[in-house]
Amino acid sequence: MTRFVVDTNCLQADELRGYLLESPRNKVVVTPFVELEMLKGDAPINVIRSTEVLAAHMKQVVLTKDPLEVVRIKGRRKGMKKRLSGGKRTSTFRKWSRHTRARAERGDARALGHIDRRAAGARAQLADMRENAQTLQQNIDEARKRYSKEELEAFRADNFTPALIEKIRVHVMEMTQQFFENHPDKPDWPPRDDVFHTFTFRFALCARLHAISVIANGVAKDVDKLPNDFIDVSVAAYATCFDGLLSKDKLTQDIYRRARLLLDEEFLKMPVSRDEIRTVGRAGGAQAPR
């Protein structure tokens, strides 16, 4: 079974349709922020269009658990995909596809009203994301001070030297600790190298790679677009927990590719203990993804 995370820009794409038609064992994973993006603008029209391919292959669609629950999940390599998947949320989507969506597509006023009510809640959540997006701006500002011109050139060329890998690893562990400490539930630090298999660590890794990508390429980020970048980082982080990514966005693709490279080739070979993370300094200001 193969499970690929889908980005919003691929929901109506031939790539998604082809992937699902290729084999009934190919599953597509939909994350909470991608669900929210479907509800932007004219929600009923956007939702119907965005879910056309998914509804046609509803038995191959998997939804993840909600963001707060995902952050609380323990980190272990075995069973990671299953732990992140939301069984009830997945079955609810399939029921919605068969009934509410089908009625909305036919113009049923009650079904369209249901989508509009969900859109109102989504707009509030997307507005709250501006606070989360500030983490990305802080991360960019902080990373700008900590990476040399030579390191940024090496990063652009995917020349991950041992020194650069260790530097990124230490900074990601700093962010991970901050996320754990700032989470409202105050979860315990995972035992030993289980931290590498938590969504919190994967998000911190992708956020750091996003920051380095921005400064390495000399891109002046538009603060108003940072909520979109937050979603891109989140999608890439989820993709590292599954089998791959379906996205048309180059930055998201690059973040995922580099994160996967560092995880497969380097980080997972570097065990870490709770004592080690306690010795790491704080970069300050990071808020837990939620």
pLDDT digits (tens, 9 = 90+) for 148-165: 999 999 999 999 998 999
Give the other-Cβ count within 10 Å of 281's Cβ: 9
pLDDT for 210 equals: 93
Percent of the chain with pLDDT over 90: 47
Same domain, 155 and 275: yes
Same domain, 88 and 14: yes
20 by Cβ neighbours in 10 Å (0-12 / 13-18 / 19+) ranks as: buried
- Residue 21 in any domain: the answer is yes
Same domain, 142 and 250: yes
pLDDT for 9 equals: 94
Same domain, 115 and 159: no
The pLDDT tens digits for 241-290 are 999 999 999 999 999 999 999 988 766 565 554 444 443 333 334 444 55
Distance CA 212, CA 140 (A): 7
* Number of domains the chain is built from: 2
pLDDT for 271 equals: 54
pLDDT for 223 equals: 58
Q: Token digits for 164?
A: 């650069």
Same domain, 150 and 46: no
Same domain, 113 and 189: no
Same domain, 215 and 246: yes
Beta bridge pairs of residue 2:
26
Q: Tell me the residue ranges of DSSP E strands in the chain.
A: 2-6, 26-30, 61-63, 244-246
- Residue 52 in any domain: the answer is yes
- Residue 287 in any domain: the answer is no
Same domain, 171 and 235: yes
Helices 149-156 and 199-216: crossing angle in degrees, nearest 10, is 110
Q: Which domain holds residue 233?
A: 130-279
Q: Give, in order, the Cα–Cα distances in Å from 276 to each of 178, 193, 252, 262, 280.
A: 14, 11, 30, 20, 7
187 by Cβ neighbours in 10 Å (0-12 / 13-18 / 19+) ranks as: middle
- Residue 285 in any domain: the answer is no
Residues of the chain with pLDDT under 50: 273-288
Which one of 121, 143, 171 terminates a domain?
121
pLDDT for 285 equals: 41
- Residue 218 in any domain: the answer is yes
pLDDT for 260 equals: 93
- Residue 245 in any domain: the answer is yes
Q: Are 111 and 88 in contact (CB under 8 A)?
A: no
Handedness of CA 241, 245, 249, 250 (dihedral sign): positive
- Residue 58 in any domain: the answer is yes
Distance between terminal CA atoms of the chain?
28
- Residue 249 in any domain: the answer is yes
